Amino acid sequence: MKAYLAIFRMRLKMETQYRGAVIGGVFCQMFFGLILVALYRALYAGRPQALPLSSVITYVWLQQAFFRMVLSSDGDLADKIRTGAIAYDLCRPLNLYGYYYLRAMAMKLMGSLLRAIPMLVLAILLPDGWGIAAPQSLPHLLAGLFGLLLGLLCVCALENITMAITMRTLDSRGMQAMLNLLMMILSGNILPLTLFPDSWQKVITLLPYAQLLDAPIRLYTGEWALSQFPRVLCIQGAWIVFLVALGLYFWRQNQKRIVLQGG
Amino acid sequence: MSYIDVQNLSKSFTLRKKREKGKLLREKTEIQALKEISFSIGEGELVGYIGPNGAGKSTTVKILSGILTPDGGSARVGGLIPWKERKRHVQRIGVVFGQRSQLWWDVPIMDSFQLLRDIYRVPEDQYKKRLSNLTDALDLGAIMKTPLRQLSLGQKMRAELCGSLLHGPGLLFLDEPTIGLDAVSKLALRDFLKEENEKKGTTILLTTHDMEDIAALCSRVMVLGHGKKLFDGQLSHLLSRYDTVRVIEVRYGSGILPPLPDCCRMERNGENYRITYEPEKMPTAQLLSLLQGAGEIRELTAQPQNIDHMIAAMYKEMDL
């Protein structure tokens, strides 16, 4: 257990080595957030929607704040697979699936917390009608946080599947670009899922990408009542079990047929 | 009872060729990286493992360190099958891949060592003792807090070696550990390995292309070529078969080099003449009197044959 915790500590250290990247990320996400908020304000000024504007704005800010959590971007690991430096990881006395799962989790958690905290502070300080709104109630906040945690477990399982496939294709860029596009649409990063047509939402909200941020945010804003919470947990739980099982299967297959390039 | 016991180990890889015009699918070829090799290594031995590029040396190391699963044959290291009991096996071994890095690129090497301590579950007091020993032996004190990316190649390699030895492995696989190192670093590394082997009894399998490494460290060598074991025994035995020529370098104060018989090869390098000959065909005394008769010799040095030339001759004869 200590070994796995150490991976978290290491990741935090690495993130703090590149403070510039964190600051840059915060500014970039703030910029996107402001543009999107301006866009929705304009949209609502012309034609108000059923969902209150403040909920949409809160949705945008939470999406932007935790963008790093859903973005699939472990360039380090992709490089290791490409160059074969992964050989070292393969000779550690650790469960490899667990090791990479926690590595992804540490990266997403540390990376997104370092950016989310300053961003949320900034988003709170913005003038009325531009900034993030408080959660519906304390239970809504807790439900949202718990949902976020399960969403994190989901996205790490997805990441591990991507990496297992990368170990065969050797290059992750194509797949990551495609998956990131899918993720940005299906997680509600580009257009909040709540603004999709109802018939679409029935399907989209069941997919794994919607479990990452969309479900927790809707619990936070109160768009979904607390009575919906068990349903959300079931969907998230089912995806976690399925994605982890699939990932484990892939890794086990890989371990049997692994090939390391050169040298 | 030997520590490493390998029987008929085989491994093949599939290579996909570039698709040919007019064909729908790419052709596949199978490459046999290892063809039923067998050997055993006793505890505390330091064995050199040599062979030309692509012979299958690294494949062997990767199988024995539990990374690759072989197609056939068996291997036991300290009673464990590396690829089946991987976790327990790797806890007891250390591996250095000379061309790759195990330390984290962006953080001080000290932090990488602490992570390795946690991964290998090394008790704190043992870790401290081990680390201070390694820091002294490998001269790492000054760079402990430097991120890996700022280290020179030699410093990096010493840090890598330290990382691989932190958990006190009884068996060490070294895959080209001296690649790219300068003379000082190379000598220091050799001394360190020798001590690790002699004092701590660490079993070492050393893969390298640097024959000086082998000559300095290993009494026993295994030669691999095209996936087959071609030689296993004393380095001196191996060399005596190929150690057939000698080299004399000569510089004249006055006079010039006389014509030499065909069996001698001569290269001119400024004022120096470099003569390679086979004592079997041209006795040294005869050659010397020939050289002396031509003028006043200012300088003359006799050298044994370069070990790389011997190995090259051996690879050539073995058709590698």
Structure tokens at A138: 């304390």
CA–CA separation, A244 and A237 (whole Å): 11
For B121, the closest of A3, A84, A257 (CB atoms) is A3
Q: Which fold has domain B4-240?
A: Rossmann fold (3.40.50)
Q: Please enumerate residues of A whose Cβ is less than 8 A from a Cβ of B.
A: 2-3, 5-7, 9-10, 13-14, 17-18, 76, 83-85, 87-88, 90-95, 255-260, 263
Q: Please tell me the predicted confidence (pLDDT) of residue B1.
A: 62
Decide: helix, strand or coil at residue B271: coil
Task: Indicate the average pLDDT of chain A.
Answer: 87
Question: What ranges do the domains of chain A cover?
Answer: 2-257
What pLDDT was estimated at residue B8? 93
Q: Is B12 on the interface with A (CB under 8 A)?
A: no
Query: Do B15 and B28 form a contact (C-beta atoms < 8 A)?
Result: yes
B295-303: strand order across its sheet: B265-269, B272-277, B246-255, B295-303
Residues in chain A, total: 263
> Please, what sign has the CA dihedral across residues A39, A42, A45, A47?
negative
B46-50/B220-225 β-pairing? parallel
Please give the order of strands across the beta sheet that includes B72-77: B28-41, B4-16, B72-77
Instruction: Report yes or no: B248 and B287 within 8 Å, Cβ to Cβ.
Output: yes
Token pair, residue B254, equals 């006055």
B-chain CB neighbours of A257 within 8 Å are 69
A52-66, B10-24, B90-104: the lowest-pLDDT one? B10-24
Asked if B176 reaches chain A (Cβ–Cβ under 8 Å), the answer is: yes
Residue written as token pair 């191996």: B238
Map tokens 């500590």 to a residue.
A9
Helix A2-17, helix A96-125: angle, nearest 10: 40
More confident residue, A52 or A17: A52
Residues B107 and A13 sit within 8 Å (Cβ to Cβ):
yes
pLDDT (0 to 100) of residue A260: 59
pLDDT band of residue B58 (cuts 50, 70, 90) is: confident
Closest-CA residue of A relative to B98 is A263
What pLDDT does B170 receive? 92
Average pLDDT over residues B92-118: 89
Q: What is the mean pLDDT of residues A68-78?
A: 77
- Alpha-carbon distance of B19 to B7, in angstroms, equals 37
CA distances from B154 to A171, B102, B137, B219 (A): 30, 15, 14, 26
The mean of the pLDDT values for chain B is: 87
Q: What span, in angstroms and rounded, lies between the C-alpha atoms of B262 and A206?
A: 86
pLDDT confidence of residue B186: 86
Nearest of A111, A79, A109 to residue A4 by alpha carbon = A109
Q: Where does the pLDDT of residue B27 fall: very low under 50, low under 70, confident under 90, or very high at 90 and above?
A: confident
Taking the CA of residue B53 and the nearest CA in chain A, the distance in Å comes to 8
Neighbours of B151 (CB within 10 A): 18
Determine how many CB atoms are found less than 10 A away from the CB of residue A8: 16
> What residues in B contact A6, CB-CB < 8 Å?
114-115, 118-119
Q: State pLDDT tens for residues A177-198.
A: 888 888 888 888 888 888 888 8
- The answer for residues whose C-beta is within 8 angstroms of residue B201's C-beta and 6 or more apart is B43, B44, B170
Share of chain B above pLDDT 90, in %: 34
* pLDDT tens, position by position, B218-252: 989 998 888 888 889 998 888 887 777 888 888 88
Q: Which tens digits make up the pLDDT trace of B192-221? A: 899 999 998 999 999 988 888 888 899 899
When pLDDT is cut at 50, 70 and 90, the band that residue A263 belongs to is: very low
Q: Please say if the pLDDT value at position A261 is more than 60.
A: no
User: CA B204: distance to chain centroid?
Assistant: 11
Query: How do residues A105-137 score in pLDDT, each as one tens digit?
Result: 988 888 888 889 999 999 999 988 898 988 888
Report pLDDT digits (tens) over B262-290: 778 888 887 888 888 888 888 888 888 88
Q: Which two tokens stand for residue A11?
A: 């990741």
Residues A209, A162: contact at Cβ < 8 Å? no
* Residue B38 pLDDT level (bands cut at 50, 70, 90): very high
pLDDT at A162: 86
Residue A166 has what pLDDT? 82
- What's the rounded Cα separation, in Å, for the pair A211 and A235? 8
Compute the half-sphere exposure of residue A61: CA atoms within 13 Å on the CB side of its CA. Answer: 25
